[in-house]
Structure 1
Amino acid sequence: MSRLDGCRVVMTGPAGGIGSLVAQRLRARRAHVTGVVRAACAWCDESLITDLGDQEALAALAQSLAARQVDILVNLAGLQYFGPIEDQSADRIALGYTVNLVAPAILASAVVPQMIARRDGQIVNIGSVMGAIPYPYFTAYSSAKAGLKALSQALRRELSGRGITVTHIAPRAVKTAAIAGAIERFMTLAKMQADRADIVADRIVDAIEARASDVSIGLPERIFTQLNATWPAAVDRGLARQIATARSMFAG
């Protein structure tokens, strides 16, 4: 029997290329999945219609989650922008930070009290290797995901000894509809590869069931993460060619 059998999971982002597969796999392991979505989600048991980028809607959602049983919270929703930071509007930058970082923090704070009371629960934050290796031309996204990793670590330390698991999972590039247009062209020019969405979804659900702490997908990325932490100048040099490629795409 799966540990997830009967667990009540609340998950943001179940309508995306990865999220839909994660939701279906959680249900296959007999979890009850409530999706936080902008439109009804066919592969969830229940849908909470919410705009995570709207502060009032986010506050209302937090109140709703505090009043219901949430065994596992999965913060998977995310927004990604590729391009020079000066080409993004202030509203667009603020929206990215809200969805990628502020919403996970607010939703975690909403469910922590009940998990402390039960001495059981799990908060799962889906980050990115770009949070550990801050990537140029994904500047706002990378820094938000870096914040999500820090949020996960700080929350894990704050809740230690109280029966609550905080899981942080960092995928690398994944083949979904999000990789299109300029991002797809950049990856082709830079000769970058992307993982299959089904494989990443399997890794995420396995990590949730195992109540893992930190999972980084991809051996080269794990090596670069360690290198970036100890010798960032070496990573600067290693990314120089990709930076030049991206810069040429936006020149003029």
Structure 2
Amino acid sequence: MKLAGKRILLTGASGGIGEALAQVLAEQGAILLLHGRRSSALERLRKGLPNPDHHQLLVADLMTATGRAQLLQHPILDEPIDVLINNAGCNEFAWLEDQSSEQVERQLRLNLEAPVQLCRALLPRLNHPGLIMNVGSCFGAIGYPGYSVYCASKFALRGFSESLGRELKDTGVKVIHFAPRATRTRLNSTAAYAMNAELGTKTDTPEVVAEAALQALMREGRNYWLGWPEALFVRLNGLLPALVDRALAKQHAVIARHARQRQPLNTEPKKHQDQGETR
């Protein structure tokens, strides 16, 4: 799809990946509807984009039905959109038993319930042809210790994207599942960064992820797995999961040491949590 002049709703726009994605989309001449929870951050982003007067802001908390209704009732969504990018997300790097019920709920609501509900509500407002991009994760195909709830939400998002794409066959609306690997954003915990460094895990900048997402949108494919060897591990895990079991077993002690660092359980949303890391 050529993006010049297209109206694009981008959730989680003021996070690391979201900011980079907004920049490359605006450079293509897209008209952006920028969603986030902090109006000040969104306004700074808008002013720094090409043609800032072309873009508009949507402030809402997607983790609640009230917040989603606030977004959907905004007058700027009375006009149809061409592309919906479900980019907002969050994660917690911790053993399941060390997470609070609020931390579990937050990941499931923002990573899964919000994009499902937005797709449902916005399908009648999508132009045909139109695109939906659900930003998933390599952990949507590889169950990784320390990310059990995050993996659950991203596995489900991948299944939802596949199913919805098949539902919409021949309607003119395509669904893209875009899955980055580890990305350097300010929302990762210190423990996650330390683990990645010790294991030698490759990470991408938000700018690299945004450029790949842009190419995925323009090519309109179904599934994009970003990064090597992560893309290989995705395929191995589907065909020969025992091989991945053995590979992760070798890393288990390192993962556990970082994931189980004792910190007070935080039941409050993280600051600046408009876009969590995707992997």
Q: CA deviation at 1:224?
A: 1.0
Q: Distance in 1 between matches of 2:102 and 2:205?
A: 32
Give the structure 1 partner of residue 166 of structure 2. 157
Contact kept, 8 Å, 2:82 with 2:129, in 1: the verdict is yes
Contact kept, 8 Å, 1:79 with 1:96, in 2: the verdict is yes
> Greater shift after overlay, 93-102 or 208-217?
208-217
Query: Among residues 39, 42, 45, which one is paired with 1:43 in the alignment?
Result: 45
> Greater shift after overlay, 222-231 or 75-84?
222-231
Q: Distance in 2 between matches of 1:63 and 1:196?
A: 34
| Letter in structure 1 aligned against 2:252 | I
Deviations 1:181-228 (A, max 9, x none): 111111112221211221111001111122222111123112111111
Contact kept, 8 Å, 1:127 with 1:170, in 2: the verdict is yes
Query: Among residues 80, 96, 102, which one is paired with 1:69 in the alignment?
Result: 80
Q: CA deviation at 1:39?
A: 1.3
Q: CA deviation at 1:59?
A: 3.0
After TM superposition, the runs of 4+ consecutive aligned structure 1 residues lying more than 6 A away are none
Deviations 1:222-247 (A, max 9, x none): 21111111221211111112221122
Give the structure 1 partner of residue 69 of structure 2. 59
Contact kept, 8 Å, 1:66 with 1:110, in 2: the verdict is no
Provide the aligned C-alpha RMSD in A: 1.7
Contact kept, 8 Å, 1:79 with 1:100, in 2: the verdict is yes
Q: CA deviation at 1:97?
A: 0.6
| Letter in structure 1 aligned against 2:61 | D
Q: Distance in 2 between matches of 1:74 and 1:196?
A: 19
Higher relative contact order (CA 8 A, sep 6+): 2
Query: Among residues 159, 168, 184, which one is paired with 2:193 in the alignment?
Result: 184
Contact kept, 8 Å, 1:175 with 1:195, in 2: the verdict is yes
Correspondence 1:194 to 2:189:
no
Contact kept, 8 Å, 1:63 with 1:110, in 2: the verdict is no
Say which SS state the counterpart of residue 84 (structure 2) adopts: strand
Correspondence 1:215 to 2:224:
yes
Identity among equivalent pairs (%): 33
Q: Distance in 2 between matches of 1:241 and 1:162?
A: 47
| Letter in structure 1 aligned against 2:17 | I
Q: Distance in 2 between matches of 1:167 and 1:251?
A: 36
Q: CA deviation at 1:251?
A: 6.8
| Letter in structure 2 aligned against 1:111 | L
Q: CA deviation at 1:63?
A: 4.3
Give the structure 1 partner of residue 5 of structure 2. 6
Correspondence 1:241 to 2:240:
no
Say which SS state the counterpart of residue 103 (structure 1) adopts: helix
Gaps of 5+ in 1: none
Give the TM-score normalised by the residue count of structure 2. 0.84
Deviations 1:153-202 (A, max 9, x none): 00000000011111111000012213341111111122212112211110
Say which SS state the counterpart of residue 35 (structure 1) adopts: strand
Give the structure 1 partner of residue 28 of structure 2. 29
Q: Distance in 2 between matches of 1:114 and 1:82?
A: 36
Give the structure 2 partner of residue 102 of structure 1. 113
Query: Among residues 92, 95, 103, which one is paired with 1:81 in the alignment?
Result: 92
| Letter in structure 1 aligned against 2:21 | V
Say which SS state the counterpart of residue 244 (structure 1) adopts: helix
Correspondence 1:91 to 2:93:
no
| Letter in structure 1 aligned against 2:12 | G
